[in-house]
Structure 1
Amino acid sequence: MKKEQLKELNRWFEQGDHQKIIDEIVALPDTDIDYELTGHLIRAYNNIDDYDKAIRLLLSVQDQGKEDSLWHFRLGYAYYYSGRAWEALQQFEIAYQLNPADKQANNFVQMSKKSLASQMKKEDTPDPVITSSQKYFPSPDAEPLLPFVWVDHADSVSLILNVGSYKNKIFAERADEGFEGNGYDWGSLAAVFIEEIMPELAVQIQFDPEASMFCAYSTDGEALERFALGFKAACEDDTLIRDLFSRAELD
């Protein structure tokens, strides 16, 4: 049944019947809508320009999609056509890193860079550092860093985390103070870690969090790798990370 259903969904996609795909999937019981069907629904919403619904659905399955290049591509696509070029660029970078054979993802990297540069010029602000997938520093082994993701840029490197599923209980312990576990909260936690555990890296490591994403970056690849491995190890030590978080300040 599932095989025939997917075949029909793909046929409707090729015919451009995106609303028919949406109607078919949303009519199913929630228990029947798995990650694969959710992907078809997201694609359909993107294709009828309902990017808000696509983004909400994508974020609802972000734990399953964190290592799926297609998930990152679809999120980047929704961000891009919502006018959120910086967030789109981050997602397309990850999609291309996870699947270097995806030429379309790389094309959207370039398109997002141009869009971002255009936006910044309109705002009459200095041009940002424009990223690309060119490697200049050997990337560390990805496995020990998960769910953090390492991203190479033209003249810098980044460590990112799509927030919402990792270490939520830690942040929940201070929810009454306003902590939500968003990217800014992770930035506050990382700042305490740097100050107390690796103060020698304070100059090299910068933070640029968003609501849905934590981001640390540096022009020094070795420094960021040291931070990445140390911070991930701290996060896995509940006693240590709780102690550090107890001194984090709400941004």
Structure 2
Amino acid sequence: MDNDLLKELTLWHNKNKYEKIINKIMEIPEPDRDYDLVCHLARALNNQDKYSEAINYFLSVQEQGQYDPLWHYRLGYAYYYIGKYKEAIVAFEEAVALNPEDEHSKTFLEMSRNAAGREGNEKIRKVNDEQVEGLLEVDEKINQFSLVAHNNGSISMILSVGEYKRDIFQTRAEEGVEGNGYDWASLATVFLNEKMPHLVDIIRFDPEADMFAAYTDNREAMFSFAIAFNEACEDDILMKDLFSRAELD
């Protein structure tokens, strides 16, 4: 891929301008699209919630992607969000095998396994009742977010950033706000400090560009935080007010 084009696509991705990425790549004749271009196109389709289209593009370069952990991660991401959890598990397992340090793939692997279990699919792993007690009930109350119980006893609250509440973050776009995982963490920090200060030393944040993640070893604290933070995010006036005081990363 041409370096100038790569820089342009990366800039658009960082600014959540996924439609521009799609249009730009679609202007290039299909025979002239290399592996990197196809992956950029499919990733942008993922971020536009066009998961089935993304899967088709990812699979069109399957041979080239077989040793690329990012290819497996992004394919698994698409499978997860169309509810094909078994396929997602296979993809995330391969991503982790290729890159054991990939925490995102590990998290989505846990999420896929939990989802597969909830739907009555083949049981992928056993989780003791104490570990998941109350998790499914809370998970149903937090809309765009997901709770993940980990084998080490910790619990995470995950959001794959995208369209959800993007207009709120746009109120500070002139400051470089993009609505990415770091911006969500800045919002969550203000919420925690002002609304739930007793949990400040218990709930931790570990965001990435495309994901907001909160985690703790205290299950009840996470349940309380998850429900309260979700309610705050559903109140646009409150969310704008909180974010107005967020210190940007």
Structure-2-length-normalised TM-score:
0.65
Call closer, same or farther: CA 1:94–1:193 in 2, change over 3 Å.
same
CA contact (8 A) 1:68 1:98 kept: no
TM-aligned CA deviation for residue 227 of structure 1: 0.4
CA contact (8 A) 1:184 1:209 kept: yes
**Counterparts of 2:144 and 2:136, CA distance in 1:** 14
Rg larger in structure: 1
CA contact (8 A) 2:88 2:112 kept: yes
Q: 1:92 aligns with which of 109, 116, 121?
A: 109
CA contact (8 A) 1:66 1:72 kept: no
CA contact (8 A) 1:79 1:87 kept: no
Cα deviations by residue, 1:88-122 (Å, 9 ceiling, x for unpaired): 1111111101103456x76xxxxxxxxxxxxxxxx
Gaps of 5+ in 2: 1-33, 39-44
RMSD of equivalent CA atoms: 3.4
TM-aligned CA deviation for residue 40 of structure 1: 3.7
Ranked by relative contact order (alpha carbons within 8 Å, sequence separation 6 or more), the top structure is: 2
Cα deviations by residue, 1:114-171 (Å, 9 ceiling, x for unpaired): xxxxxxxxxxxxxxxxxx9555141142221121001112311111111112111111
**Counterparts of 2:103 and 2:242, CA distance in 1:** 30
Call closer, same or farther: CA 1:85–1:58 in 2, change over 3 Å.
closer
SS of structure 2 residue aligned to 1:225:
helix
Call closer, same or farther: CA 1:230–1:36 in 2, change over 3 Å.
same
Identity %: 36
Which amino acid is 2:81 matched to? G
Call closer, same or farther: CA 1:239–1:69 in 2, change over 3 Å.
same
What does residue 19 of structure 2 align with? none
**Counterparts of 1:48 and 1:133, CA distance in 2:** 36
Q: 1:181 aligns with which of 179, 204, 207?
A: 179
SS of structure 2 residue aligned to 1:173:
helix
Q: 2:239 aligns with which of 235, 238, 241?
A: 241
What does residue 224 of structure 1 align with? 222
